[in-house]
């Protein structure tokens, strides 16, 4: 069965510090991968998605970037965090099955920028 | 117009009642619709998928889809306090990019 691992679970970082969040998927090949952010009391905002190694699509221009160095690894990064980067970051995966494509989430990383 | 809209709630129902959660979407070509449950502080969990007009039942949950009206709903029968959570409606943009509503908070009180 497929599993998704996301770490760390919580993170407190000072403004201006770098960020690296990692997500890996097990039990499947060539998944679609996604990074979402959920700010307090708000909906899920799609940040990046990837359909293959090295293929990254950005939804929202900001000081975040994403990379996919391996088939089942997705990394979210920032060189300098802003206070507004605080939120709940969620990695998700899906396998393309046409209309039946379903997405599943990791446990999330709660980031607080101070 | 937002792509996926939900009433933020909270929707409060007594234990044992039917909870009805609603969602509208703007993209007429959407084909895939999902309901996720999110407990406070946790990540969303997929509970229902629906692709064809009509009803789809799974245990106490029934998803209803009306593509002509661009409307999808989730019914929870015999609501339990453990059903208290935020319910997120999602619609696939293209074939594989889920777009989420802001979610409806459901409170089931004993």
Distance in angstroms between the alpha carbons of the first and the last residue of chain A: 38
State the 10-residue block means of pLDDT for chain A, 114 residues long.
91 97 94 93 90 92 91 96 95 89 95 97
Q: Which two structure tokens, joined as six digits, stand for B75?
A: 């019914």
Q: What is the pLDDT of residue A70?
A: 96
Report whether A25 contacts A47 (CB < 8 A).
no
- Distance, in Å, from the CA atom of B102 to the CA atom of B105, rounded to the nearest integer, reads 10
Q: How far apart are CA B81 and CA B12, in angstroms?
A: 11
Q: Is B29 on the interface with A (CB under 8 A)?
A: no
When scoring A87, A99, A107, A110 by the number of chain B Cβ atoms within 10 A, the one with the most, hence best to mutate, is A99
Per-residue confidence (pLDDT) for residue A61, from 0 to 100: 65
Region B61-90: mean pLDDT is 97
Q: Given pLDDT bands bounded at 50, 70 and 90, which one contains residue B1?
A: low
- Residue in A103, A107, A108 closest to B98 by CB: A103
Name the band, by pLDDT with cuts 50, 70 and 90, for residue B26.
very high
pLDDT at B74 over 80: yes
Distance from CA of B94 to the nearest CA of A (A): 9
Is the predicted pLDDT of residue B31 greater than 90, yes or no? no
Site from B44, B49, B91 to mutate, A interface, most A CB atoms within 10 angstroms: B44
Two structure tokens written together for B39: 């407990």
Bridge partners (DSSP) of residue A50 are A33
**Which pair of structure tokens corresponds to residue B56?**
């789809």
Candidates A97, A32, A20, A108; CA nearest to A71 is: A32
Give the length of chain A. Answer: 114
Are residues A102 and B101, on separate chains, in Cβ contact within 8 Å?
Answer: no
């Amino acid at each position: 069965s497929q599993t998704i691992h996301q770490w760390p679970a919580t993170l407190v970082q000072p403004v201006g510090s770098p960020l690296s969040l990692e997500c890996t998927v097990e039990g499947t090949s060539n998944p679609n991968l996604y990074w979402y952010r959920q700010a307090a009391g708000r909906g899920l905002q799609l940040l990046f998605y990837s359909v293959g190694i090295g293929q990254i699509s950005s939804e929202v221009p900001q000081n975040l970037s994403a990379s996919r160095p391996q088939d089942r690894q997705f990394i979210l990064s920032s060189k300098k965090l802003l206070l507004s980067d605080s939120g709940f970051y969620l990695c998700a995966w899906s396998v393309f099955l046409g209309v039946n494509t379903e997405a599943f989430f990791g446990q999330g990383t709660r980031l607080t920028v101070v | 117009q937002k792509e996926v809209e939900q009433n933020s709630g909270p929707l409060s129902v007594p234990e044992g009642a039917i909870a009805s959660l609603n969602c509208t979407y703007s993209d007429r070509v959407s084909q895939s619709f999902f309901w996720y449950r999110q407990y406070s502080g946790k990540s969303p969990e997929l509970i229902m998928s629906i692709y064809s007009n009509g009803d789809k039942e799974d245990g106490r949950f029934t998803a209803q889809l009306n593509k002509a009206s661009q409307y999808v709903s989730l019914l929870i029968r015999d609501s339990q306090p453990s059903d208290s959570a935020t319910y997120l409606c999602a619609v696939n943009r293209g074939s594989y990019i889920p777009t989420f509503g802001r979610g409806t908070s459901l409170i089931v009180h004993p």
